[in-house]
Structure 1
Amino acid sequence: MFHAAHGYQRAPLPEAPESGPTPATGTATAVAPATAGRKSALPTATEPPRPAGRDAWFDNAKYLAIVLVAVAHAWEPVMDGSRATRALYMLVYTFHMPAFILISGYFSRSYTGKPHQLRRLLTGIALPYVVFEVAYSLFARYAGDKPDQPISLLDPYYLTWFLAALFVWRLTTPLWRAIRWPVPVAIGIALLAALTPGIGDDLNLTRVLQFLPFFVLGLCLKPEHFQLVRRREVRLLSLPLLGVAAVFAYWAAPRMSTKWFYRSSSVQEIGDGVPWWSGAVVFLALLACALVLTVAFLAWVPAGRSWMTALGAGTICGYLLHGFLVRAGDYFGLFEENPWLGGPVGLVTVSLFAAAAVTLLCTPPVRRLMRPVTEPEMSWAFRRDVSELGPRR
């Protein structure tokens, strides 16, 4: 359904305006304002980029994905007593971060390492990573009664891995735009990472490399690919696919480790007793399932502007802040002292609370409040580039 174009093109892609990260995440989320409303014809090398408005479809997709991220995180402490909940958890974890990462790659197409892009990379991704890495570590140390919890910028803690990964992926964008077969190369690197134990915890590199194909695929996509996904035929075809995936997840729930979906370990380290060659098959199968379910999810995203559209611009706040609520429930014994949360009524309650909380955290007032951390200007910290002063002179 997705047809990835090669990363080698003679005419440059129109430059997408950049904003803070938007995980799909939780994802926290790292995506620039949407530009899919542009015409598919690319400008010539001499044409300047033409500004375009936000596409409501992308903002809606980001909001719905961050709701799934928050709900899945809320399910994790209470799903052990319910096979159905574990199956839903595995189903959602198959595609929610791949969807966010793919969209992040799509809006990173214009990154070439220009001075203003490097500044945005530092202020919109690196700075939030540092702030929330320290904040989550201190929260675990004092609220979670973990006095030995280290503060290390090289070892992402909890949700901050996505910001570290996005920083690495976006820095390598010019490389992926230059090579002839970027997606197969990225899949090969991801597979090697999955088969290599002991890569280490630095920047959670195992996860960065295993999720890499979705980012590179996003770099190769064009607006017409997303228009194809939004067709009625694709939407109808996605229903039986989702049904089959749900049935398989229910069968696999008691048999399969959730570590396969986190992509933070090699197949040898997961501990299911599988040989490396069958682990490679499982990894590639999950990669294909993630892509198919991502298409199915995107096919049902509403296209028009609605109440959720404005919330899609603030998913970075929802992603980074909802983790404190989930961690607080764990640290203060909310899930252990209330076993009824693992029952049907409790799971519905947890899901509604998580969806409402992350929705509130994505609202414009919260985004304005968090702007000094997630979208700071910091012009005082950078030199003025000569090329930017040229037109004024």
Structure 2
Amino acid sequence: MFDAASSHGQHRKPLPPAQSPVNGVPSPRAPMSTQKRDRPGKQRDSFFDNAKYLAIVLVAIGHSWEPLKGDSRILEGVYTVVYTFHMPAFIIISGFFSRSFDMRPDRLKRLITGVAVPYIVFETAYPLFKRFVDHAPDQEISLLDPWYLTWFLCALFIWRLTTPIWKLVRLPLPLAIGLAMLASVTPNIGDDLDLQRVLQFLPYFVLGLCLKPHHFQLVRRRWVRIASVPVFAAALAVGWWSVPRMNTAWLYHRQSAQEFGAPWWCGPLMVLALFGCSLVLTACFFAWVPRRKMWYTALGAGTLYGYLLHGFVIKFADYRGWFDHPALHHPLGEILVSVLAAAVVTVLCTKPVQRVFRFAMEPKMEWAFKRDAAELARERQKAEGAREKVSA
């Protein structure tokens, strides 16, 4: 299959250089062996690392607000605004960094070890955690029904596998929006693999696939940063106004219109309306993300750790009834909870935590895969080249 596999090394054609696997967002840092193969001078973009870190902080803060927001209209209004854009921003970046994904063996292995394996591990760990901490012996383990935070890993796995299709079709974004609209009126999809969320969040991933680097430059202009201030102010006012009028569960994208007891045509309308609102607020969020290296920039490489691990902290506090303390249901208590959630997820993104949990988040698993033929041929070619130098 490869000319380089013939027995006469002198007539072999040079093999193509090895490429580093595609990055995922949120995703753990690439293994050191992969980093060493990167081209000299290739550096991470601080903007994207900053965006990933700030988005994961908002995710953790939003989860910490869930047990508290029922007592405060202001907090629930802010919660509505944050939930309108924080996951869309995360997913757009995920799509942007999935543009080069194909079915090449090394990228498929990276997808399995970096997404599928953590899904299996944490989809098992979360129910066991609830069983022992919350004393819920009837809590079942099901790989088909994503539990709490693991839906994103399931969705990312499916989205990335379909990336070659979205790169092939002529109008990928309208097609993805159409599928999301159809999903919103299809209650029979069920809970398996959280496909309702997979399909309704799909347009954001496909949008990320369609974006180019210069598109992110457009939202980082000075006038966009200035305009984002009144836009966010208006969004907060609308969020406060919508609290008694709108079910915030629409923002989770995990149910159809019929399941909300709404007319079927509300589903497609809400998909379009939320997509538009999410894009506007996501653009405003990106406009304020720093472009230079910050103290937290390096933490952007560990966002998957922070994302999956902070769920144990939030759930532990919830199972133990800590959120029921009266002091936390006042403005100062809500601020304290927000600061603690941000601090916890920050710690969970650090390198020491990554080293401890790397076995679950990015296992090597060389034993599970066949060696790539091209890689083996390159190694043979390199070894023969070294022997020729020695003999010369």
After TM superposition, is the score higher than 0.5?
A: yes
- Determine if the alignment matches structure 1 residue 210 to structure 2 residue 214: no
Secondary structure (helix, strand or coil) at the match of 1:183 reads helix
Shift of 1:339: 2.0
- Label 1:161 to 1:316 Cα distance change in 2 as closer, same or farther (>3 A): same
Match of 1:5 in 2: none
Shift of 1:210: 0.2
User: For the residues of structure 2 that align with 1:17 and 1:119, how far apart are their CA atoms?
Assistant: 9
Shift of 1:51: 7.4
Question: Is the contact made by 1:18 and 1:32 (CA closer than 8 Å) also made in structure 2?
Answer: no
> What amino acid is the match of 2:290?
P
- Selected match of 1:79 from 69, 78, 88: 69
User: For the residues of structure 1 that align with 2:343 and 2:39, how far apart are their CA atoms?
Assistant: 38
Question: Is the contact made by 1:126 and 1:163 (CA closer than 8 Å) also made in structure 2?
Answer: yes
- Determine if the alignment matches structure 1 residue 192 to structure 2 residue 196: no
Match of 1:325 in 2: 313
Match of 2:322 in 1: 334
Listed as ranges, the matches of 1:1-393 within 5 Å are 17-19=21-23, 21-22=24-25, 29-30=26-27, 52-271=42-261, 274-336=262-324, 338-392=325-379, 393=381
- Label 1:102 to 1:32 Cα distance change in 2 as closer, same or farther (>3 A): farther
Looking at CA atoms only, which structure, 1 or 2, has the larger radius of gyration?
Answer: 2
RMSD: 1.7
* Greater fraction of residues in helix: 2
Give the number of aligned pairs: 355
Structure 1 moving runs of 4+ over 2 Å: 15-19, 29-33, 48-52, 389-393
Question: Is the contact made by 1:30 and 1:166 (CA closer than 8 Å) also made in structure 2?
Answer: no
User: For the residues of structure 2 that align with 1:354 and 1:264, how far apart are their CA atoms?
Assistant: 24
Structure 2 length-normalised TM? 0.87
User: For the residues of structure 1 that align with 2:27 and 2:205, how far apart are their CA atoms?
Assistant: 11
Shift of 1:256: 1.1
Shift of 1:52: 2.7
> What amino acid is the match of 2:22?
E
User: For the residues of structure 1 that align with 2:290 and 2:373, how far apart are their CA atoms?
Assistant: 43
Question: Is the contact made by 1:31 and 1:104 (CA closer than 8 Å) also made in structure 2?
Answer: no
- Label 1:176 to 1:270 Cα distance change in 2 as closer, same or farther (>3 A): same
Question: Is the contact made by 2:69 and 2:76 (CA closer than 8 Å) also made in structure 1?
Answer: yes
Structure 1 length-normalised TM? 0.87
Residue by residue, what CA displacement relative to the aligned partner does 1:258-279 show, whole Å, maximum 9, x if unpaired?
Answer: 11000000011123xx322233
Secondary structure (helix, strand or coil) at the match of 2:180 reads helix
- Label 1:16 to 1:221 Cα distance change in 2 as closer, same or farther (>3 A): farther
Question: Is the contact made by 1:17 and 1:32 (CA closer than 8 Å) also made in structure 2?
Answer: no
Shift of 1:50: 9.2
